[in-house]
Chains A and B, each alone.
Chain A
Amino acid sequence: MEPQRLEEIIGRYPTPTGKILGILEHIQREMGYLPKDVLKLLAKRLELPLSELYSIATFYSFFTLEALGRHVVTVCMGTACHVKGAPELVASLKHHLGVEMDETTRDGKFLLTTDDGEYTLTSARCFGACSMAPVLRVDNKIFGYVTPERIPSILKQFGWEGNHH
Chain B
Amino acid sequence: MIQVIIDGKTCAAEEGEILLAVARRNGIDIPSFCYEEALAPYGACRMCLVEVVKGGREGITTSCTLQVTEGLDVLTESPEIIRLRKALLELYLAQAPRSESIRALAARYGVTRTRFTKKTVRDDPLQNRCILCGLCVRVCRDVMGVGAINYIGRGQFTEINTPFFEENETCQGCGACAEVCPTGAIAIEDIAPNRIMKSWSGTKVPLKTCQSCGRYFAPSPFVDNTLEKLDTALKAALQDLCPDCKRKEMTRQAILLSTGTPLPMK
Contact = CB atoms under 8 A, between A and B. Distances in A.
Given A49-B147, A49-B148, A54 B164 contact: yes
Contacts of A53: 163
B152 interface: yes
B42 to A, nearest CB: 16
Interface string A23-53: 0000000000000100100000000111111
Given A36-B164, A106-B157, A51 B150 contact: yes
B121 A55 contact: no
A55 B151 CA distance: 6
A59 B146 contact: no
Given A36-B164, A49-B141, A54 B157 contact: no
Contacts of A52: 141, 147, 150
B154 interface: yes
Contacts of B152: 54-55, 58
A48 B145 CA distance: 10
A152 B137 CA distance: 48
A55 B157 contact: no
Nearest to A40: B163
Interface residues of A, number: 14
B199 interface: no
A144 B57 CA distance: 50
Interface in B115-166: 121, 137, 141, 146-157, 162-164
Contact of A106 (B121, B137, B150, B162): B121
Contacts of B141: 49, 51-52
Interface in A84-119: 106-107
22 contacts: A39-B163, A49-B147, A49-B148, A50-B147, A50-B163, A50-B170, A51-B137, A51-B148, A51-B162, A51-B163, A51-B168, A52-B150, A54-B150, A54-B164, A55-B150, A55-B152, A58-B154, A59-B151, A106-B121, A106-B157, A107-B153, A107-B156
Given A50-B147, A51-B149, A52-B141, 8 more contacts: A36-B164, A48-B147, A49-B148, A49-B170, A51-B141, A54-B152, A54-B163, A58-B154
Interface of A: 36, 39, 48-55, 58-59, 106-107
